[in-house]
Amino acid sequence: MSEYKKPIPVIQPWTSEFWRATKQHKLLIQKCNDCGIDIFYPRKYCPECWSSNLGWSEASGKAKVYTYTIMMDMVEPKFMPDLPYVLAMVDLEEGIRMTTRIVDCDPQDVAIGMDVEVVFEDISEDCALPMFRPVTGKKKDKDKVSPAQNETRPPDTIEMSTDSYQTIMYEVGGANNSICRITLNRPDKFNAINRQMARELIHAFRNIRDVSSVGVVVLSGAGKEAFCTGGDLEIFPSLAEHQNCLNWMGHEGLDVQRAITDCEKVVICKIDGHCLAGGLELALCCDLIYAKESARIGTTEINMGILPGWGGTARLPRSMPVFRAREIVYSGRKDYTAKEMYEMGFLTRVFKDDEFEEKFEEIVAGIASKKPIALRMGKEVMARSAEGGSIETALAVERNGITWLTYSPDIQAVMDMYREKPGRLVEQQKKA
Ligand SMILES: [Zn+2]
């Protein structure tokens, strides 16, 4: 057995029987001899009747995956070499739910409900770790999609590639390939969003999440007329049934929003021209919003008797003072100037038309020059805080994130540089 570098379980008198069994590759379940319940994890006393008259029985080792997550990053440094790996909760045949790892398979093949069986990894003289692997022959079940299911699903975005987009442009470039530009590309339709564009945006933002060189995504519209004027009204007849409408709002709409907010890059929205209705809602999903002075902004849905349904009604009041957000939704005005919106607390900045490109690109390049992992962590922590969760939650995410950043090897190198030359920060300040 080669030396095991990860943490080893601390064996207590009341868990020693359990760990002894793992050395013989047996999985034990603790039993209460008085009230009869199964107990997991092993304890001193029965949690039901407080009896200390406890015994053991051997589990079959057969289980089903109850839930799981794939660890891609952000783990304790000693677990880094294992990435990616699957953390799961499995339900044993005997009714016990265990936290464990799923091993011996591609993480992508793991599915909820999958049949798994126990395997043991010998890690020390005293114990082995119970883990689970797919029962051979069963792991492909999740790929079987019945024909009926297929019919109701929109054409799958999995078939798409970043070269095949018809309604958006997608380009990775800039210094060290740190910038991705995603451009809504239906200028003759004022970059209105149809179903194809929604699917392409979902695909593009999910795709960019895995490109580690990229720290910044610029979302803009092609042409000079509009950033985006919202949902393409041509698709509305196709939404005439409740079911279709629900799919458009609830599936495509929500998936676009989530793809943008979950993409882990700093998404910068560039508003040149009209930014209306669903266009404003796209902007609301971004991290920063810059507008040209001549841009015109608003939500117009109420003029048709509906409301912003792609997150706008929910997000506007979280993005600016609520008494101003209400006016924007209720008035249906489509002619708010960029300056008005800025004064109402909505935009990051407004630049004069003739300076816009230069100033905007300066900001993009500046942010793109920072470490993508630090940007990503900043996004995560600020989202937790801004979403209105408890401050303790946000602080916990912050502590965790900064600890993780501090351990990252390339950031260690930067910190060493400052340690060797403490005056460096001040010198840089003077130069700037
Ligand atoms: Zn009991």
Q: What is the pLDDT of residue 203?
A: 96
Which residues form the catalytic set?
A: 281, 301
Query: Considering the chain, what percentage of its residues have pLDDT values greater than 90?
Result: 67
Task: Give the tens place of pLDDT for each residue, 141-171.
Answer: 444 444 444 444 444 545 789 989 999 999 9
Q: Tell me how far the alpha carbon of residue 41 lies from the centroid of ligand 1, in angstroms.
A: 14
Task: Give the tens place of pLDDT for each residue, 392-428.
Answer: 888 888 888 888 888 777 777 777 877 777 777 677 7
Overall average pLDDT of the 37-43 stretch: 92
Q: Tell me how far the alpha carbon of residue 47 lies from the centroid of ligand 1, in angstroms.
A: 7
Report how far apart, in Å, the C-alpha atoms of 87 and of each of 30, 67, 98, 103 are.
Answer: 23, 9, 11, 9
Contact 122, 78 (CB under 8 A): no
Contact 178, 369 (CB under 8 A): yes
Tell whether the model's pLDDT for residue 430 goes beyond 60. Answer: yes
More confident residue, 421 or 20: 20
Please report which confidence band the pLDDT of residue 130 belongs to, taking 50, 70 and 90 as the band edges.
Answer: very high
- Nearest Cα neighbor of 70 from 54, 56, 58, 87 is 87
Give the DSSP H or E segment for 182: strand 179-184
Task: Give the tens place of pLDDT for each residue, 270-283.
Answer: 999 999 999 999 99
Ligand 1 ion: Cβ-proximal residues, 5 Å cutoff: 32, 34-35, 46, 48-49, 51
| Distance in angstroms (rounded) separating the CA atoms of residues 268 and 265 | 9
Q: Is 139 strand, coil or helix?
A: coil
Q: Tell me how far the alpha carbon of residue 148 lies from the centroid of ligand 1, in angstroms.
A: 48
Tell whether the model's pLDDT for residue 76 goes beyond 80. Answer: no
Within 107-183, where are the H helices?
147-152
Tell whether the model's pLDDT for residue 268 goes beyond 80. Answer: yes
Q: Is 288 strand, coil or helix?
A: strand
Q: Tell me how far the alpha carbon of residue 59 lies from the centroid of ligand 1, in angstroms.
A: 19
Tell whether the model's pLDDT for residue 229 goes beyond 80. Answer: yes
| Distance in angstroms (rounded) separating the CA atoms of residues 49 and 65 | 29
CA 159 from chain centre, in angstroms, equals 21
Model pTM score: 0.67
Q: Tell me how far the alpha carbon of residue 42 lies from the centroid of ligand 1, in angstroms.
A: 13
Q: Is 83 strand, coil or helix?
A: coil
Instruction: Give ∠ CA 247-250-251 in degrees, rounded to 5.
Output: 65
Contact 353, 293 (CB under 8 A): yes
